[in-house]
Amino acid sequence: MELVSAAPNTVATSMEVLRTKLPATGRRLRARMDGVNRPTVGLALGSGAARGLAHIGVLEVLFRSRIPIDIIVGCSMGAVIGGCYAAGMDSYELLEMGLAIDRREVFRHVDLAVPNRGGLISGARIEGLLEELTKGKTFEQLRFPFACTAADILTGEEVVIEDGPVHEGIRASSSIPGVFQPMMYGGRALVDGGILNPIPANYLAALKVDVSIAVDVMPVLRPSSEQLGKVPSIVSTLINSFDIMGRLVAAPVAHMATVVVRPQVGEVFGAEFWRATELITEGFRAAEAAIPAIREALNRAGM
């Protein structure tokens, strides 16, 4: 297990760390591209809780459009979708999985935590599901390089996870603070990486990927008329706080990508996983709209 830490809260420093401290992901990427005569294409899948289901639609469009993917760096729900894809699930299987989600399925995987243990939900059931979806694979066994980001809640450091069991890394990357218990991983208490870096496109830039595609599913909060004037629930308060912070941090990092795909999913609350159909559809629409820009970038890079 290898954790590559970045200095607290600084995107510039994290890029410098990745330049000077060669991560396993970089070695795998170079090995993958050895002898391949085309530009390297990377995907940064951002955080956004349920809104991250839009990533499935994006992956389906890239597959249909024959856009190669050589590396994925994911955060939170972007780590879930990216990790499952790298572990062998194709876009159709991800689509089937997403469309099968309903309220009952969501609550079936909620296991309440012991009080005062750092979160409302233990996360053990979700971790078991992630292990099943990724077939128990390690990062070294994936079909292309994949890494995910998390945050050490005790030190404030951003952490890149790139070795060991994939499901453990994904669980750490997607542990929304206060909602899920922190994941103890490599001696660290890790939570959702979105609190520091919701769209980890900076790591693709640091690895000198030729064409990087970032998918931004961070919302601009638009409460409904029914929500206005009412005290939100505990979960709503935690997730909305997370979204407000993430939106401020996301913009400068997303712009490090060659192309940014922005599904319009701001009307969906972060816990509404049962709205998968409209989220995936919007991811599909946004990616289709971005294909001309992606092809132009590939042409400029020599493909």
The DSSP secondary structure of 98-165, one letter per residue, reads HHT--HHHHHHT--BPPTTSSEEE--HHHHHHHHHHTTT-BGGGSSS-EEEEEEETTT--EEEE-SSB
Q: Which of 152, 192, 210, 216 is catalytic?
A: 192
One-letter amino acid of 101: I
Residues 6+ positions from 123 with CB-CB distance below 8 Å: 111, 113, 171, 175, 180, 181, 183
Looking at the DSSP bridge assignments, the partners of residue 72 are 43, 146
Q: What is the pLDDT along the chain (303 residues), one digit of tens a residue?
A: 445 555 444 555 556 666 544 479 999 999 999 999 999 999 999 998 899 999 999 999 999 999 999 999 999 999 999 999 999 999 889 988 888 876 555 555 565 555 556 667 877 888 888 999 999 999 999 999 999 999 999 999 989 999 999 999 999 999 888 888 898 888 899 999 998 999 999 999 999 999 999 999 987 656 555 656 677 677 677 777 767 776 666 666 777 899 999 999 977 877 788 899 999 999 999 999 999 999 999 999 987
Which region holds residue 187: left if phi is over 0, alpha if psi is between -120 and 50, else beta? left
Residues 6+ positions from 23 with CB-CB distance below 8 Å: 2, 4, 147, 160, 162
Q: Given this model, what pLDDT does residue 170 score?
A: 96
Whether residue 90 lies in the annotated active site = no
Q: What is the DSSP pairing of strand 119-121 with strand 188-192?
A: unpaired
Q: What is the pTM of this model?
A: 0.87
Q: Given this model, what pLDDT does residue 28 score?
A: 96
| Distance (Å, whole) CA 118 – CA 193 | 16
Domain positions in the chain: 39-299
Q: Which of 76, 173, 174, 212 is catalytic?
A: 76
DSSP code string of 196-222: T-SS-HHHHHHTT-SEEEEE--PPPP-
CATH number of this structure's domain 39-299:
3.40.1090.10
Q: Given this model, what pLDDT does residue 271 score?
A: 74
Q: Given this model, what pLDDT does residue 104 score?
A: 58
Q: Please measure the distance between the N-terminal and C-terminal CA atoms of the chain and give it in whole angstroms.
A: 35
Q: Given this model, what pLDDT does residue 100 score?
A: 80
Structure tokens at 275: 């709205």
Q: Given this model, what pLDDT does residue 303 score?
A: 76
Whether residue 47 lies in the annotated active site = no
Nearest Cα to Cα of residue 240 among 179, 182, 180: 179
Q: Given this model, what pLDDT does residue 207 score?
A: 92
| Distance (Å, whole) CA 43 – CA 204 | 8
| Distance (Å, whole) CA 249 – CA 149 | 15
Q: Given this model, what pLDDT does residue 9 score?
A: 47
Q: Given this model, what pLDDT does residue 97 score?
A: 87
Please tell me the total number of residues recorded for the chain in this structure.
Answer: 303
| Distance (Å, whole) CA 285 – CA 280 | 9
| Distance (Å, whole) CA 303 – CA 297 | 9
